Each structure stands twice: as C-alpha cells, then as structure tokens.
Structure 1
C-alpha cells in the first residue's frame, strides 16, 4: 500500500531521510505562507488565497505535529540515551523551539482561518515573514546539529524501529 507520507525516493525504512523530506515540505509551506501574504495584499482573499491558506493549514495541522512527535517522542530520546552533554543541550534547545514554533503556528493558524473566512488583512507580512523564516531555520539547525548524530550513535535496529514507529503513527492518524 502506498504511504501518503512517503516521497518517491524516501521511505520510513530511512527515518532520518524521511525527517529531512518532512523539512523540505516545511520549507515549502512556510514559504507559501509568505507568498500568500503578498498575494492577499494584491488580490484579497480570492479563491487562490483560500486554497493556499487551506493547504498550509492541512500541512501544519496534520503532518507537522506528527513530525514533531517523531523527534520529541522517538529520535531525541534515543539520541539522549547516548548523547554527550553538548548534544543533550542542543536537543533541549530544539525541543524548546518546538514549543515556541507551536505558539507561532497558532497565531498563523488563526490568521489563515480568517483568510478562509474572507479577511484579507488577517495574515500580515510581518507574521508571515516570521513564520517563513523561523520554521526553515529551525529545520536547518536540526539537520546540521542533531540529525548527523543519528547515524553515529544509533544502530541499524534502533533506526529501523524509529522508522516503524513513524510509519505506525501516520497510519493511526
């Protein structure tokens, strides 16, 4: 059965690659948020704006929370069991960023719902720009400062279990 969360070239058999593929979608939808704010200024809350807002909502309401669970509930605890104090500090900082990004998402979410309801002024350039910058920066930091340790610290059996857990989480959704 085709998994809708998998990409053509990445599957849950390679969980870190799957997390990076999720980051690619985070970057795509975060950038779309900024483009949407520009569109709203020119064209208002037209059908294209509503469709864009709906697609951003769909991604960040469904896939992004699953991704954060993959990290917070599975990858990070596995790494922490073998982490140096420096890596443990980075993981703690990243986990705290997840909470901050969650608050930011709720602000963007409310604005997107207002756009869908016809309020073209709800999504400000400032809010959209902050969202479009912070989420990709966070993802890049994870890829640079945490993900490389998965290959170094986690054995094949642990990585395989991570992939199975990630897949099962999505099948339950």
Structure 2
C-alpha cells in the first residue's frame, strides 16, 4: 500500500468536499424525481426524503463539529465566513424540521414546497462554501476521517 505524501493528503479535503456536495446534489435529484412521480406513494417519498435529510444534516454537523473549528484555528480571518456557513446550516436544519412537521400530512404539494426551500438554500450554501473554502481546504492539515468530518453519503 502506498501512503500519499503530505501534499496529496491535504489536497484531498477540497476534493472530498466537492465530492460530498455532488453526492448530496444527486440525492436531492432522486428525491425530486420521486416527488414528481405519480407511482411513488407519499410514504415512499418520505422515506427517500428522510434519507437525504439525514445525510445533509450529518454533513453539516460534521463540518460544524470538526472542519470549521480546524479552519478557524488555521485561518482566523475566515471566522465571519464560517459563521455565515453555520447560520446556513441552522436555516437548513429549520427547513428540515419544518418538512418533518408536515411529513405526516400526506400532502405532496406541501412536501414539494419544503423541498424547494431546502434545495434553494442548500445550493446557495454549497456554492458559497466551495468558493470560500476550497483553497483553504487544499492546504488544511486536519488529521481526521473524511466520513466523520463531511458525512457518510
């Protein structure tokens, strides 16, 4: 087994973030396709949606718990950026909680509206995060398991 040199390991954080975001975007697409299908029962849609929401929540919790503190320690000038990203995490968490609250209503339209809100904030958040942090991540020394830091999706 070949052990990557330090620069290869460090660059992996930026690539890993992009890959996780791509997988979350793809998972949202699956949820949206299920939402638009007449063949998918509401309870099945909720099951698919729940999996996506759990993955997105775990991703944000890992960033808040491990990634952002490491970035803040190495780059104090990014504290405002990290605070804005954490506010996005809270907003998305509130939207997910709202979705959970209407989940039992069997209203496809209500689920769609909630997914629209989550999708809009998530995409804006991902783009801002990637623009603001990829170069920092490419040089970040963080000795941690990527799945613990960025989620398991």
Q: TM over 0.5: same fold? A: yes
Aligned to 1:148: 135
Counterpart among 135, 139, 144 of residue 162 in structure 1? 144
Query: What is the TM-score normalised by the length of structure 2?
Result: 0.73
The answer to whether the aligner puts 1:107 opposite 2:94 as a matched pair is: no
- Name the structure, 1 or 2, with higher relative contact order (CA <8 Å, separation 6+): 2
Change (3 A) 1:107 1:165: closer
TM-score with structure 1 setting the length: 0.66
1:8-157 to 2 correspondences below 5 Å: 14-39=12-37, 43=38, 46-61=39-54, 63-85=55-77, 87-111=78-102, 113-114=103-104, 119-121=106-108, 123-152=110-139, 154-155=140-141
Residue segments in structure 1 that go unaligned for 5+ positions in a row: 1-12
Query: Judging changes above 3 Å, is the alpha-carbon distance between structure 1 residues 108 and 28 closer, same or farther for their aligned structure 2 residues?
Result: farther
Question: Residue 6 of structure 2 aligns with which residue?
Answer: none
Q: Tell me how far apart the structure 2 counterparts of residues 37 and 55 of structure 1 sit (CA, whole Å).
A: 9
Give per-residue Cα distances to partners, 1:84-143, cap 9 Å, x unaligned: 42x2211110011111110011112333x326xxx1346254333222221122112111
- Structure 2 residues without counterparts, runs of 5 or longer: 1-10
Corresponding residue pairs, total: 141
Question: Are the equivalent residues in 2 in contact too, given 1:26–1:136 (CA < 8 A)?
Answer: no
CA RMSD of aligned residues (A): 2.9
